Amino acid sequence: MTQNTIGFIGVGNMGGPMALNLVAAGHRLVVHDVNTDALKPFGNKVQIARSPAEVANEAEIVMVSLPRPEIVHGVVFGEGGIAAGSKRKIFVDLSTTGPRMAKTISDELAKRGVVALDAPVSGGVSGAVKGTVAVMVSGPKAEADIVMPLLAAVGKVFYIGAEPGMGQTMKLINNLLSATAQAATAEALVMGTKFGLDAKIMIDVLNASSGRNTATEAKYPNEILPRRFKGGFALELMVKDVKLAIETAESMHVPMWVGQAVKQLWLYAEGHGGPQQDATELIKHIEAWSDVTVKGK
């Protein structure tokens, strides 16, 4: 198996930087994206394919980074999909699709002699650019051992387990906690601002205290207090991930009282701000309720 030729489908906000990091690590890439503008940063550094099937005709390892489970399924099994390719042997899903879809894809590809690995990533666009995302790999160990050294160019790689969907479940746990931290921090910062506290001082105190979390450490200093709101992760994607987490928990009869409340807040934000609004703009909807603006002085 040629380890240095990798197929990569989906080179948007997350996939693009990850693919460029693979190129920088010396790997030959065959790339496809329905958005031709997303291909421009690659110049002549990669081979461009016209379809997922064409990618899978060129590369034995095919990675995808796509926004929704149904899109991943269509790219794999639709007309001109990866499954129709002649060379593909290992499929690696870097997207967040949930364990149910991971198992479906794994089972269907196994019938075609292809091993599927789910390997969702976390760390945002900045992590994808820096090559510091967490990569959560699950699937057969032999194939994981082939792919994980390649993924080291993308970030820190963790082997979660042999069963399909284990990596996806780990990612949903992570994103549920991230969504909860951001929602709770928004409410807390709006409360403090309404009382007259300085937003930057609140963040500094929280980051030196037990209330510290990913939102206070990165999202507030970098995106929210400066009112930039360019985190690169859309509201609709956060809603999708939280829904998948709750659906997965409910399928195992695990209660999600806090998770349900978090989901409702994100759904409210999506309904009022639109699906493409940046996830860091969640706070705007709580500010509107409270008639305050949280910003650095």
Distance (Å, whole) CA 219 – CA 214: 7
Q: CA dist 104 to 41, 73, 76, 85, 240, Å? A: 33, 9, 11, 19, 18
pLDDT at 256: 97
Q: How confident is the model over 265-295, as pLDDT tens digits?
A: 999 999 999 999 999 999 999 999 999 999 9
pLDDT at 4: 63
**Which architecture characterizes domain 169-290 according to CATH?**
Orthogonal Bundle (1.10)
Domain ranges, ordered by start, for the chain: 5-162, 169-290
Return the ∠ at Cα 216 (arms to 212 and 221), rounded to 5°. 145
CA dihedral 104, 105, 106, 112 (to 10 degrees): 120
Q: Which two tokens stand for residue 145?
A: 């051992």
- What pTM was estimated for this model as a whole? 0.94
Annotated active-site residue 240? The verdict is no
Residue ranges of the chain with per-residue pLDDT less than 70: 1-4
pLDDT at 150: 97
CATH number of 5-162: 3.40.50.720
pLDDT at 296: 78
Return the DSSP state at 136: E
Nearest CA-CA partner of 85 in 4, 9, 138: 9
Catalytic-role residue among 40, 111, 156, 171? 171
